[in-house]
Amino acid sequence: MGTVENHLIELLPRKDRLRLLAVSEQIELELSEILCEPGLAIRHVYFPIEASISLMALIDGSPGVEVGMVGREGMLGGQMALGMVTASVHAVVQSPGAVRRIGVNAFRSELATSPALQRGLHHYLYVRMAQMTTSAACLRFHLIGPRLARWLLMSQDRAHSDSFRVTHEFLAAMLGVRREGVTAAASALQRKGLIEYRRGNLKVLNRAGLEAAACGCYAVEQQAYAALLC
């Protein structure tokens, strides 16, 4: 196993980890690639190594709004631990990169033989539920600026870098707001010296300042993850 691996896989006992790796294939995901659609059966589960995936709720033909994010800390397709193979969200690649992909039949077999994998996924699903609950409340009660700061922190965590590419259009879709609102909020963060944003290239300049600017939802999510999956 390489030095960089998906965290859920890293947490498995060695025997279970090696067996799961043996049935996986490492592939590269492309930007904006769609991995699953609501109401349709999934064909693969994904354990990101470098890539990150946005989980979108689509309502009445709208562009949707982000309700969760998956990076190296988690996986896409965890509902299989509950016996479900139907997707409930629209999953799109937010940041390209490497993932481990496993077919549903092979993954179902691993779940049946690995109590450690089952336990890990149950914990992760709880954290995901908490993330989605927090996102719903955040969307309703918090202003665009603090929400944008939170989203940038979450993206930086999963990009494992201070710099990543993101457009105003994409940010607007993720936050469920108008493009003008994102432009104003990003400009305010830039004037404070917290970020640098040019032609779709964003760089976090002051991590501590960005954390202070974010709503409390970011810290709540970090605490939930640390309590169950570290």
The full 3-state SS of 7-29, as one line of letters, equals HHHHCCCHHHHHHHHHCCEEEEE
pLDDT for 80 beyond 90: yes
Using alpha carbons, list the distances in angstroms from residue 217 to 141, 183, 195, 207: 11, 22, 20, 16
- CA gap 205, 199 in Å, rounded: 16
Do 163 and 201 meet the contact criterion of CB atoms below 8 Å apart?
yes
Domains of the chain plus CATH, in order, are 7-138 (2.60.120.10), 143-214 (1.10.10.10)
CA distance from start to end of the chain = 19
- Residue 131's pLDDT band (boundaries 50, 70, 90)? confident
Q: What's the confidence (pLDDT) of residue 199?
A: 83
Lowest mean pLDDT among 24-28, 69-73, 169-173: 169-173
Looking at per-residue pLDDT, the higher value among 119 and 224 belongs to 119
pLDDT tens, residue by residue, 64-76:
788 899 999 999 9
- Residue 130's pLDDT band (boundaries 50, 70, 90)? confident
- Residue 3's pLDDT band (boundaries 50, 70, 90)? low
Q: What's the confidence (pLDDT) of residue 135?
A: 86
Residue 214's closest CA among 157, 148, 139? 148
- CA gap 41, 37 in Å, rounded: 8
- The alpha helices in the chain, defined as continuous H runs, are 7-10, 14-22, 104-113, 115-141, 144-159, 168-175, 179-191, 207-213, 217-229
> Average pLDDT, stretch 142-159?
92
**DSSP secondary-structure letter at 61?**
T
> Average pLDDT, stretch 159-187?
88
pLDDT for 62 beyond 80: no
> Average pLDDT, stretch 28-40?
95
pTM (two decimals): 0.90
44-48 vs 97-103, strand pairing mode: antiparallel
> Average pLDDT, stretch 125-134?
89
Residue found by looking up tokens 């810290």 in the block: 219
- Residue 22's pLDDT band (boundaries 50, 70, 90)? very high
34-36 vs 52-57, strand pairing mode: unpaired
- Residue 87's pLDDT band (boundaries 50, 70, 90)? very high
